[in-house]
Amino acid sequence: MAQIWNDDDGERWAADADRRDRVLAPVGDSLFGAARLRPGERVLDVGCGCGATTLLAAGQVAPGGTATGLDVSAPMLRVARARQESGGVANASFVHADAETHPLPGPFDAVISRFGTMFFADPARALAATAGGLVPGGRLIMATWQPPDVNPWLTVPGEAIMRHAVTAVDLRDRRMFTQSDPEVVERLLTGAGFARVRLDGVRVPLPVGTDVADAAEYLAGTGPGRAQLAAVADADREAALRDMRTALAEHAGPDGVRLEAAIWIVTAFRPD
Ligand SMILES: C[S@@+](CC[C@H](N)C(=O)[O-])C[C@H]1O[C@@H](n2cnc3c(N)ncnc32)[C@H](O)[C@@H]1O
C-alpha cells in the first residue's frame, strides 16, 4: 500500500490537490463539526495526504495547540509542507511514516482522519496504535464512505459509463469502501481498544465541478471513474463520456455541478 501512495496514486492526488480539497471540503466540515477541536489541543491527522485538514486543525487549536499530519506518501507530504510554508502555519508539522509500523508521535487529545484509515493493510493493528497514541479519554473522529450504491457522486456518472461496459465493475471491492459497513467499523474500533463507538450517517453535496466539462474530467479521473472507464472498449469510450456528461448536466446549477455523497462520521474514545 505504501508503494501505491508513493507512486501513481500519490502523484495523482498531489497534482490535483487543490481541486480535490475543494470537492471534499464539505466532508471536512462534517468531520470538524464532530471533532469540536479546542485551542490548546494536540491533534494528529492520520493519512493526512496533502495536509488540508491538518492545516485547518492547526487553526482551530491555536493558540497553544498543535496539529501533526502523518502520512506514508512522500509526494502528498511535499504538497502539505509547501502549503504549510505558504500559509505560515507555525503550529503544524508533518511526519512521513507508516501508521501501521511507526510509533505515533503522541500523546494526542484527538485523532482525526478524512478517508485516511481505510487503506491500511492491517487496520486492526494501525487503529490499535492510534488508540495508544491518545491520552485517556482522547477521541478519534474519522470520515469513511458509505457503500457506493448510496453515493450519487458515484452512481450518477457510474450508471452512464457502465451502460457501455463490456465487463462488470464492483466498486464495493475497492479499498476505499472497506470501512463502509457499520458493524465492521464498530468491531474494528472496539477490538483496537476504543469505547463509545458511534457512526453518524451524513449526506453532503460535493461540488464536483465548476461546469459539466470540469465535473466530467474530475469524475473520470477518480479511482472509481478510471476503473469503470477501463471496462469500456476503446471504440465506445467517447459515447460513455458523452452519456456521463448528459447525466451530470441534470445536476448542474449556477454554482457548478453538485452531487451528493453519503459518508459516516465515526467517533470513538480511548477509555479513561
Ligand atoms: C484517500 S487519501 C486521503 C488523504 C487526506 N486525508 C484527504 O482527505 O485529502 C488516503 C491517505 O492515506 C494515506 N495512507 C494510506 N496508508 C497509510 C499508512 N499505512 N500510514 C499512513 N498513511 C497512509 C495515503 O498515503 C493517503 O494520503
Ligand 1 center to 163 CA (angstroms): 32
Ligand 1 center to 250 CA (angstroms): 32
One pLDDT digit (tens) per residue for the chain, 272 residues: 667 777 777 888 888 999 999 999 999 999 999 999 999 999 999 999 999 999 999 999 999 999 999 999 999 999 999 999 999 999 999 999 999 988 888 899 999 999 999 999 999 999 999 999 999 999 999 999 999 999 999 999 999 999 999 999 999 999 999 999 999 999 999 999 999 999 999 999 999 999 999 999 999 999 999 999 999 999 999 999 999 999 999 999 999 999 999 999 999 999 99
CA distances from 98 to 28, 95, 106, 109 (A): 23, 9, 15, 20
pTM of the model: 0.96
* Ligand 1, atom 14, residue with closest C-alpha: 47
Strand pairing category for 92-96 and 42-46: unpaired
CA atoms of 37 and 45, how far apart (whole Å): 12
Query: Which letter does DSSP use for residue 116 in this model?
Result: -
177 lines ligand 1 (CB under 6 A): no
By the 8 A CB rule, do 45 and 67 touch?
A: yes
Peptide bond into 205 cis (omega under 30): no
Sequence-distant (6+) residues with CB within 8 A of 71 are 5, 47, 48, 49, 77, 80, 94, 95, 96, 97, 116
Ligand 1 center to 76 CA (angstroms): 9
φ/ψ of residue 191, rounded to 5:
-65, -30
CATH classification for the domain delimited by 2-147+174-206+261-269, as one of 3.20.20.480, 3.40.190.10, 3.40.50.150, 1.10.1740.10 = 3.40.50.150
Residue 92 cell numbers, joined: 503544524
